[in-house]
Chains A and B, each alone.
Chain A
Amino acid sequence: MSLYITSAVIIRNQTVRKNGSVAFQSSETNVHLFLRAIYDYLEVSYTRFHKMDALNKLGWAAAEFLLQEIESGFVDKESAGIVLANKSSSLDTDERFLESTKSVASPALFVYTLPNIVLGEICIRHGLKGENTFFVTPNFDITFMHDYTEQLFESEAVNACIIGWAEQYHEQYEAAFYLVQKSSMGLQEPFTIKALEKLYE
């Protein structure tokens, strides 16, 4: 089966790179302010963004850039999946929720104490209803993600899939999102470990 990376977004070091080129840069070193700068740059009105924790804002921002100009490429959203991984799960928000329990436990924080909520936020934003899995791995394991994605397509679990990495803990953050599809559109990069690595560099 031929699969293609049709879009790729890397967010790290105050920079958003889309398909290998810089799409946005900011001088904000604080993670929350940097993510807010992305939101302002995108000029979208999406009130849910302001309720999200930093991990979810990061995933939301990466998905916005990833799916720009390509949304119509999802023929069938019921078979469009999303599989992400990270290292720190939701630990940043876990700490903040535990702090809140000293006074009044915050339900608004508690809901973000699961790493897969970022999948849910992206699915809500883009109407994706397919496969959903969140893995916790010590680093972005490109080979594993590549092989697992191939298996997803081969078993017809998905027709299109967002895969990647969404990591955030305190001031550290990094996102690497790829859109994988069966037809050669957008970036038109064959879906190989090498190509994933090159885009991640």
Chain B
Amino acid sequence: MKRICIHSTNVLSALGKTTSENFASVLNGDTGITRQEDGSFSSIIPPEILDEIAFSNPFTAYSRFEKMAIHSIKEALQASEIRMDDPRTIFILSTTKGNIDLLKTEGNVYPSDLSLHATAEKITLYFQAENRPLVVSTACISGLMALIVGQRLIRSGKYDHAVVCGVDLVSDFVTSGFRSFLALSDRQCKPFDATRNGINLGEAAATVILSNDKNLTENSDNIMLGEGASSNDANHISGPSRTGEELSLAIKNVLRKSKIKPEEIGFISAHGTATIYNDEMEAKAFQLSNITQSPVNSLKGYFGHTLGAAGLLETIISAEALKNDLVLPTMGWEVSGVSVPLKLSREVTYQPMRHFIKTSSGFGGCNAAMIFSKQN
């Protein structure tokens, strides 16, 4: 089977414009989450950061969403020899809502601005990409799913490289939706904590460039993709499974296919949204998968829930942690509040290791898991 690695990355969030800025902020214990005018807590990219980004095409107007995507992809490409105009490169956009901030109650121009595919086309046009883009929109597992899809498309032999970019905005649309579900926390979120009471939303663009190029996959600096899988709870569309069995199905699947024993998992990068039900479901799934001896973290306390970007953003930050043999803490966590004992921490911990597992779960009952490893 073809070996595929993470060759280059970028994260654009309230904490910075590059992967290293974001990783440094996390190590420093900074958070992008702040109190907004409407009283909610979320992680918003300051307008000046986007204003600073220069665009070489003065003739096309780009939306906030598109600017974020273009910046993130550009930065990831700059650190790489892989080109978007290579016929062996596929561009995959992961998003739940795209340009949803442009949706109006009347007089919408459809499909140009609001079509997720048209938005992806606009981004590929900027980079003069050879191939048509692919959009993955599978709720909060979109980011991880887009990586799994990228891996499959490279394995199929059709492509050698995949530029996988996840973007979502904090918009009135999404904020009012989560508020109507009473799912927003009235303070900074507290994943897996006894007093957790909901999520914080966040916005980000996160890009991962995958490649099967031998020079890259044999470079010991690059993190390798293990196996990935998804599953469905077949239980409820807006609440997670009560047992965690289906997330566990995906976790066991990727462990078996990657030929990794539970005790070899350095840490679990959980979805950890800080809702009562999600975190409890995940804890049960980790127990059913026999991986609770590994440390667990959630990065939602730094970035908020970045929806379609979350799986990619959290993979990128976790890959940096893996490279440095560091287990990141869970910002906001103080006292365990799930029914299964998990190894959570408030401090950065040094720990030599080779693998981590990333999990995501979302509306529609979907779950995904994927293994990431250092070179042999």
Contact = CB atoms under 8 A, between A and B. Distances in A.
Interface of A: 77-78, 82, 87-89, 91, 94-95, 97-99, 101-102, 104-107, 110-111, 113-117, 119-121, 123-124, 126-138, 144, 147-148, 150-152, 155-157, 169
A114 B180 contact: no
A contact patch SS: mixed
A110 B181 contact: yes
A124 to B, nearest CB: 5
B139 A114 contact: yes
A135 B238 contact: no
Contacts, number: 162
Contact of B237 (A94, A101, A120, A135): A120
Q: Which residue of A77, A133, A138 has the most chain B CB atoms within 10 A of its CB atom?
A: A133
A116 B366 contact: yes
A132 B177 contact: no
A113 B96 CA distance: 9
15 contacts: A88-B115, A89-B137, A106-B180, A116-B362, A116-B363, A120-B363, A123-B233, A123-B365, A130-B230, A130-B232, A131-B230, A131-B231, A135-B137, A150-B156, A156-B257
B contact patch SS: mixed
A157 B138 contact: no
Contacts of B363: 111, 114, 116-117, 120
CB-CB nearest 5 A-B residue pairs: A120-B364, A110-B177, A136-B135, A105-B180, A123-B232
Contacts of A98: 103-105, 173
Nearest to B118: A138
A134 to B, nearest CB: 5
B117 A113 contact: no
Contact of A129 (B96, B153, B181, B232): B232
Given A95-B103, A129-B249, A136-B117, A151 B155 contact: yes
Given A89-B137, A129-B232, A151-B152, A114 B116 contact: no
